[in-house]
A and B are shown apart, each in its own frame.
Chain A
Amino acid sequence: MSTIEQFRHDTRAWLEANCPPSMRTAMGEGDVVWGAQQPQFPSSDAQLWFERMRDKRWFCPEWPQEYGGAGLSAEQLAVLEGEMRRLKCRPPQINLGVWMLGPLLLEFGSEEQKRSLLPPMARGEVRWCQGFSEPNAGSDLASLKMSARDGGDHFIVDGSKIWTSYGDKSDWMYALVRTDPAAPKHEGISLIVLDMRSPGVNPVPIDLISGKSAFCQVFFDAVKVPKTQLVGPLHGGWNLAKRLLQHERKAMSKFGEISLPSHVDLLGLLQQYLPQPHGQCEQVLHGRAVACAMNERAYDLTVQRMGQAAQVGDDISGLMAIMKLVHTEQERDKFEVLLDLMGGHAMGWHNEAGNDPQLAITRGWLNSYALTISGGASEVQLNVIAKRVLGLPDAKKGVTP
């Protein structure tokens, strides 16, 4: 047996022996385990699975051993991921640090930062959040204003971050800050990491039109951050941010693979709420719903095609650029149709007005608005496709047709 086949054999045997059967079923929203200083486990199996994978160093299997990883090669990593998919193993923990900041620290962090920050991350002991967007820096992220002024051996941070997921539950944050307000906007930005329990940090949850949310606005009032917590070069944060966003795309595609977003079965609901369309209006509505379901099918096939194209070595950058746009716009369209199809049943707010699946449609519809805005609004996605994929030219300043 070749070394890699031996590894596959051992990995399969270990997973079969150590992944509890209840951890091989589809995950609901409440089943996610977040690595944190005080992790919460929905079940004892979830805790067992977390601890076993942690001790195996398989939270970040490809990281070097000295930083808490298992030092797996790319080939071994692919085998491990394949075997976990095959057994339908749940991810033992979800951790923004492992996916986003970790790879960046490995590439750009100082030796001291790697030794102090990576091993706890790799043991799932720190919950990380991301501080990028600000109230006046959304789609135009580089216009961010939160300042980090020179305070000798530390920075003094003032301002606020918004749309920080789980800002109130996180232990640490990595954040983009302005360290040189005089420089052109892309050149005065730095990346820092900070303890969310530092004096002057105040996370406030944000209620959305869909109700309670994971999002927070985080306020910073003269927060002291040691200069050793600057990642990469001073004023050189923009390049790191772009790199982080690449990791984000990779992470999101991986995450999507493990737990597909809760699928609302449009054709099933159509059959339930409009089994026999009568009259012209119902016929038209029926047609709209079917068209939506067909577009969704075409998207699913495109996800599959992208995977196969990548495997045979085709350029998939064009397909990657459309995925977020297509998926989120289709979700918006789908909920619009569902609201028309289900009428009052999809507008209930409390249990008296509808059962759980119906109320979930209401919330899903309201939540779908956030999808086409967060993580690069649809208009930004269209700009990216037009410029980077289609090669259309930039507009001249001051041209008014």
Chain B
Amino acid sequence: MNLVYSDEQRLLADSARDFLAARSPVSAQRRLRDEGSSTGFDAQLWRDAVALGWSAIPFPEQLGGLDFGCMGLGPIFEAIGRNLAATPLLSSVVLGGSLLHLAGTPAQQDRWLAPLIAGDLRLALALDEQARHAPQGTALEARPEGDGYCLQGDKYWVLDGLGADAYLVAARVAGLAGDEQGISLFLLPADTPGLQCSALPLIDARNCARLRLEQVRVGREALLGQAGAGWASLDLALDRGRACLAAELLGAAEQLFETTLEYLKTRVQFDTPIGSFQALQHRAAQLYVDLALSRSAVMAALAALDDSSLDASARGQLVSLAKWKAGDTALKVSNEAVQMHGGIGVTDELDVGLYLKRVRVAQASLGDRDFHCERYAALSKAYA
């Protein structure tokens, strides 16, 4: 298992870093927030990222992709984290695109995936129904009706939901909340009657939405994959998203740590740089350790997703390890960054607060620390 980037992946990292440093520095994210952007990202930036090939990275060549795998997405997401850049790469390409790739019919892929890769439309995944991420807990009912289904209920925390061209909605056609069996995925164009999307503005000023489904009647052609058998694809697409989010969290935490370290070396109090105090040195060293362990876990998760010889449990364990460790570390780093910056750390003027807020949301998204700790344990029992 490769735990270091190849030369090709390092080139991708350099290009992503240069592109975002020039086109989407943290100040751009601040401007989007201040302007109250509803989509949460800059459409032109996204078009240029598509032109660089970002939206093609994870897909096979016969579908118009570059086939660089998740190890190819890792460097991009790290750069996204470092710059706090907002793009629909996670929501539309990694989550939406993966589901189409894994479960879509050729016709569905022609209709939706090709334009998605071309940047002409974007998808959003509507999954969570409760305060916390719990995919098996999907309860929104898709009741068989005539030749199709009727969907009724609410979805929360839909990433980049506002302005999406279509929604992938997880709904239950059989079984009880908690069962993996019985979950289906429906592909619903945004103009489907009964769909209503509204903003849920969170601390990170991204595009987070609620999707209300009011008596949404669809035919069987709206199904992505077999009725009631959506779990395996959903689980894999979520794992890709989680690993990418873990890479984003790692990038954000590394950048914030470097900024804080610089501050410790330059901020003078008691006639000496505060970084000369052992109380702060040991805390900084501990964060460095956590970052190093996080990087190993993130690399293993990305590599595992590209390794078709691993079963879902082995893959899921490594992904949960990465999301758990990178999320936990990013929280620690951002909390310490605020504290170590002192008074200025709690001002809006400093970028530290923007990182703190983004890290909080990304850590909770697609499963927080506790979710992934529990999942790791559950998947390890699969071997016992």
Interface residues of A (CB under 8 A from B): 267-268, 270-271, 286-287, 290-291, 293-295, 297-299, 301-302, 304-305, 308-309, 312, 314, 318-319, 322, 325-326, 379, 382-383, 385-387, 389-396, 399-401
Q: Which residues of B contact A291 (CB under 8 A)?
A: 373
Q: Which of A290, A294, A393 contacts B276 (CB 8 A)?
A: A393
How far apart sit A115 and B258, CA to CA, in the bound complex (Å)? 52
How far apart sit A318 and B257, CA to CA, in the bound complex (Å)? 15
Q: Given known contacts A304-B1, A385-B289, A401-B277, is B284 in contact with A392 (CB within 8 Å)? A: yes
A393→B373 contact, CB < 8 A:
no
Q: Which of A293, A301, A393 contacts B297 (CB 8 A)?
A: A301
A298→B293 contact, CB < 8 A:
yes
Q: Given known contacts A286-B377, A308-B2, is B282 in contact with A382 (CB within 8 Å)? A: yes
Q: Which residues of B contact A392 (CB under 8 A)?
A: 261, 264-265, 275-276, 280-281, 284
Q: Mark B20-40, 1 if CB is under 8 A from A, else 0.
A: 000000000000000000000
Q: Which residues of A contact B285 (CB under 8 A)?
A: 382-383, 385-386, 389-390
Task: Given contact pairs A298-B294, A305-B295, A382-B286, enumerate 4 new A-B contacts (beta carbons under 8 Å).
Answer: A304-B3, A308-B4, A389-B288, A395-B278
B4→A302 contact, CB < 8 A:
no
**In the complex, which residues 48-107 of chain B have their Cβ closer than 8 Å to any Cβ of chain A?**
none
How far apart sit A23 and B301, CA to CA, in the bound complex (Å)? 36
A contact patch SS: helix
Q: Mark B350-384, 1 if CB is under 8 A from A, else 0.
A: 00000000000000000000100110110011001
Q: Given known contacts A305-B4, A305-B296, A386-B281, is B272 in contact with A399 (CB within 8 Å)? A: yes
A294→B373 contact, CB < 8 A:
yes
Query: Which partner residue on chain B sits nearest A303 by CB separation?
Result: B296
Q: Which residues of A contact B333 (CB under 8 A)?
A: none
Give the distance to chain B from A80, nearest Cβ to Cβ, in Å: 26
Q: Which residues of B contact A382 (CB under 8 A)?
A: 281-282, 285-286
Taking the complex as formed, is B194 at the interface, i.e. its CB lies under 8 A from any CB of chain A?
Answer: no
Q: Which residues of B contact A325 (CB under 8 A)?
A: 289
B contact patch SS: helix
* Count, chain B residues at interface, CB 8 A: 43
Q: Which residues of B contact A267 (CB under 8 A)?
A: 377, 380, 384
Taking the complex as formed, is B112 at the interface, i.e. its CB lies under 8 A from any CB of chain A?
Answer: no
Query: Which partner residue on chain A sits nearest B2 by CB separation?
Result: A308
Interface residues of B (CB under 8 A from A): 1-4, 261, 264-265, 269-273, 275-278, 280-282, 284-286, 288-289, 292-297, 299-300, 321, 324-325, 370, 373-374, 376-377, 380-381, 384
Q: Which residues of B contact A286 (CB under 8 A)?
A: 377
A301→B288 contact, CB < 8 A:
no
B278→A298 contact, CB < 8 A:
no
Q: Which of A271, A385, A396 contacts B272 (CB 8 A)?
A: A396
A299→B293 contact, CB < 8 A:
yes
A399→B297 contact, CB < 8 A:
no
How far apart sit A380 and B273, CA to CA, in the bound complex (Å)? 21
Give the distance to chain A from B320, nearest Cβ to Cβ, in Å: 8
The 13 sampled A-B contact pairs (Cβ below 8 Å) are A267-B377, A271-B384, A297-B297, A301-B293, A304-B296, A305-B4, A305-B299, A309-B3, A312-B4, A383-B281, A385-B285, A389-B285, A390-B284
Q: Which of A271, A301, A379, A385 contacts B300 (CB 8 A)?
A: A301
How far apart sit A400 and B4, CA to CA, in the bound complex (Å)? 43
Q: Which residues of A contact B280 (CB under 8 A)?
A: 392
Q: Given known contacts A391-B265, A399-B270, is B1 in contact with A294 (CB within 8 Å)? A: no
A395→B276 contact, CB < 8 A:
yes
Query: Which partner residue on chain A sits nearest B317 by CB separation?
Result: A297
B373→A287 contact, CB < 8 A:
yes
B4→A290 contact, CB < 8 A:
no
Q: Find the residue from B300, B377, B380 having the highest chain A CB count within 10 A.
A: B377
| A-B complex: 6 closest residue pairs judged by Cβ atoms | A386-B281, A305-B3, A385-B285, A301-B296, A298-B293, A302-B296
Q: Which of A270, A294, A302, A393 contacts B292 (CB 8 A)?
A: A302
Give the distance to chain B from A271, nearest Cβ to Cβ, in Å: 5
Q: Which residues of A contact B376 (CB under 8 A)?
A: 290, 293-294
How far apart sit A304 and B299, CA to CA, in the bound complex (Å)? 11
Q: Which residues of A contact B273 (CB under 8 A)?
A: 393
B288→A393 contact, CB < 8 A:
no
A326→B293 contact, CB < 8 A:
yes
Q: Which residues of A contact B380 (CB under 8 A)?
A: 267, 293
Give the distance to chain A from B370, nearest Cβ to Cβ, in Å: 7
Q: Which of B270, B271, B275, B289 contacts A326 (CB 8 A)?
A: B289
How far apart sit A270 and B377, CA to CA, in the bound complex (Å)? 10
B321→A298 contact, CB < 8 A:
yes
Q: Which residues of B contact A395 (CB under 8 A)?
A: 272, 276-278
Q: Which residues of B contact A295 (CB under 8 A)?
A: 293, 325
B3→A290 contact, CB < 8 A:
no
A314→B4 contact, CB < 8 A:
yes
Give the distance to chain B from A278, nearest Cβ to Cβ, in Å: 15
Q: Which residues of B contact A297 (CB under 8 A)?
A: 297, 321
Query: Which partner residue on chain A sits nearest B286 by CB separation?
Result: A382
Q: Find the residue from B296, B297, B325, B376 having the highest chain A CB count within 10 A.
A: B296
How far apart sit A396 and B374, CA to CA, in the bound complex (Å)? 47
Give the distance to chain B from A109, nearest Cβ to Cβ, in Å: 37
B4→A393 contact, CB < 8 A:
no
Query: Which partner residue on chain A sits nearest B5 by CB separation?
Result: A312
How far apart sit A45 and B186, CA to CA, in the bound complex (Å)? 67
Give the distance to chain B from A321, nearest Cβ to Cβ, in Å: 9
Q: Given known contacts A318-B288, A322-B289, is B269 in contact with A401 (CB within 8 Å)? A: yes
Query: Which partner residue on chain A sits nearest B324 by CB separation?
Result: A294
Query: Which partner residue on chain B sits nearest A290 by CB separation?
Result: B377
Q: Given known contacts A304-B3, A305-B4, A305-B299, is B293 in contact with A379 (CB within 8 Å)? A: no
Q: Which residues of B contact A326 (CB under 8 A)?
A: 289, 293
Give the distance to chain B from A323, nearest Cβ to Cβ, in Å: 9
Q: Which residues of A contact B1 (CB under 8 A)?
A: 304
Give the distance to chain A from B267, nearest Cβ to Cβ, in Å: 11
How far apart sit A286 and B381, CA to CA, in the bound complex (Å)? 13
Q: Which residues of B contact A301 (CB under 8 A)?
A: 3, 293, 296-297, 299-300
How far apart sit A313 and B209, CA to CA, in the bound complex (Å)? 46
How far apart sit A322 and B293, CA to CA, in the bound complex (Å)? 10
Q: Which residues of B contact A322 (CB under 8 A)?
A: 288-289, 292
Give the distance to chain A from B78, nearest Cβ to Cβ, in Å: 15
Give the distance to chain A from B281, nearest Cβ to Cβ, in Å: 4
How far apart sit A145 and B292, CA to CA, in the bound complex (Å)? 38
How far apart sit A297 and B380, CA to CA, in the bound complex (Å)? 12
How far apart sit A298 and B281, CA to CA, in the bound complex (Å)? 23
How far apart sit A294 and B325, CA to CA, in the bound complex (Å)? 8
Give the distance to chain B from A286, nearest Cβ to Cβ, in Å: 7
